């Protein structure tokens, strides 16, 4: 019996030694309390400056964090610039909405931290991005929350890794659920995180199928509000300049709020992947609850963001602290 237990213990131990799961990494609040005690104030102050210059900082930073975590985990791999020998994540064709203001926010905050001798090269770019994301949400009226920290920066960033890892605007509920489940996120988490579309914009080509060629004999998606569809057609004529940007929340585009869910109730979700949350009976009850109860939404959103921030975290030899967020050391 004792011998059996010993063998069991040894084999369990070897499982942990030889198959360390990156998702088991322990993040904690106040990780930098002794390393760089002022990290949160310094990041917030840089993010606030950037926010005052341009509102695009908000959706750009949020989008960057989401993309970072879904592709190779929250390890700032999305910030790496391509080199002659490596095409990095940020240069995948799906990057169109990764507006440069998100990258710039992280780079400015990193520079401010590096100006303090105690903090210089002690805070990871991945953690800076996680903090900056919390800050842009709060600055635009959303909930604030304590951010778990202690991520390292990843050592790999490949454009090819982006394939199939990000939700497409055409996704249905099953496709959304399975992609989020692959990252340890539930349908509730997915619906909460989708509400990030309460800020930000998109380009016409991402939803033109819904207003021009939905199905044979039925050009307009029937789940789209008729008035809204007409407005979208006016803003996105068939030969539209691909740079034209359309607000994803047409009612309160600069407020992080639960109007996103009220829009869905009126058929004003911009993407198929937004509107389906209301048109599919499995997710509609959650949309209805959060449309009337912003406190319940905020709570679910914080929980989902915290779980998102744990995806694929790098520790030990899987990562390091980058001296330049845009290049490997």
Ligand X SMILES: *[C@@H]1O[C@H](CO)[C@@H](O)[C@H](O)[C@H]1NC(C)=O
List residues with catalytic annotation: 67
Cα–Cα nearest to 299, from 136, 145, 186, 184: 145
- Smallest gap from Cβ 123 to ligand X, in A, equals 23
Cα–Cα nearest to 123, from 146, 71, 115: 115
210 is an interface residue for ligand X by CB under 6 A: no
d(CA 81, CA 106): 14
- Smallest gap from Cβ 222 to ligand X, in A, equals 10
Task: Determine which residue in the list 37, 100, 237, 316 makes contact with ligand X, applying CB under 6 A.
Answer: 100
- Smallest gap from Cβ 223 to ligand X, in A, equals 10
Residue with tokens 């904690």: 28
Known binding residues for substrate are 167
Residue 93 or 281 having the CB closest to ligand X? 93
Within residues 161-190, the interface with ligand X by CB under 6 A covers: none
What are the distances in angstroms from CA 62 to CA 140, 197, 249? 12, 10, 15
Within residues 213-272, the interface with ligand X by CB under 6 A covers: 225, 227-228, 266-267
98 is an interface residue for ligand X by CB under 6 A: yes
- Select from 89-97, 198-206, 212-220, 309-317 the region that touches ligand X (CB under 6 A): 89-97
Known binding residues are 68, 71, 73, 75, 77, 89, 167, 197-198, 249, 252, 257
Residue 311's CB is within 10 A of a number of other CB atoms, namely: 20
d(CA 62, CA 131): 11
- Smallest gap from Cβ 37 to ligand X, in A, equals 33
d(CA 101, CA 68): 15
Task: Determine which residue in the list 2, 93, 217, 281 makes contact with ligand X, applying CB under 6 A.
Answer: 93
How big is the site for ligand X, counted in residues (CB under 6 A)? 11
CA 14 to chain centre: 35
d(CA 128, CA 141): 20
Residue 27 or 199 having the CB closest to ligand X? 199
Give the pairing of strands 201-203 and 319-320.
Answer: unpaired
Give the interface with ligand X as residue ranges (CB under 6 A).
90-91, 93, 95, 98, 100, 225, 227-228, 266-267
């Amino acid at each position: 019996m004792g011998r059996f237990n010993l063998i069991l213990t040894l084999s369990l131990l070897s499982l942990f030694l030889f198959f360390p799961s990156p998702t088991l990494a322990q993040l904690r609040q106040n990780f930098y309390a002794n390393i760089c005690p002022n990290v949160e104030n310094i990041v917030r102050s840089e993010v606030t400056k950037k926010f005052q210059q341009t509102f695009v900082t908000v959706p750009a930073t949020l989008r960057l964090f989401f993309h970072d975590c879904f592709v190779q985990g929250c390890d700032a791999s999305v910030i790496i610039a391509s080199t002659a020998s490596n095409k990095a994540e940020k240069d995948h064709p799906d990057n169109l909405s990764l507006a440069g203001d998100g990258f710039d926010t992280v780079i400015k905050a990193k520079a401010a931290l590096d100006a303090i001798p105690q903090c210089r090269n002690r805070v990871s770019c991945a953690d800076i991005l996680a903090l900056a994301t919390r800050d842009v949400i709060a600055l635009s009226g959303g909930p604030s929350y304590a951010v778990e920290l202690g991520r390292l920066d990843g050592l790999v960033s490949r454009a090819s890794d982006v394939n199939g890892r990000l939700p497409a605007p055409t996704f249905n509920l099953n496709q959304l659920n399975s992609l989020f489940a692959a990252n340890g996120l539930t349908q509730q988490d997915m619906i909460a995180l989708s509400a990030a579309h309460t800020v930000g914009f998109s380009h016409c080509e991402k939803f033109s199928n819904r207003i021009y060629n939905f199905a044979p004999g039925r050009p307009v998606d029937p789940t789209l509000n008729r008035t809204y569809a007409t407005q979208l057609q006016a803003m996105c004529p068939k030969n539209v300049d691909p740079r034209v940007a359309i607000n994803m929340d047409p009612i309160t585009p600069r407020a992080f709020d639960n109007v996103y869910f009220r829009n869905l109730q009126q058929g004003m979700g911009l993407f198929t992947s937004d509107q389906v949350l209301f048109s599919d009976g499995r997710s509609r009850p959650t949309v209805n609850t959060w449309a009337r109860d912003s406190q319940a939404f905020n709570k679910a959103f914080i929980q989902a963001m915290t779980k998102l921030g744990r995806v694929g975290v790098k520790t030990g030899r899987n990562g390091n602290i980058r001296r330049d967020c845009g290049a490997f050391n």
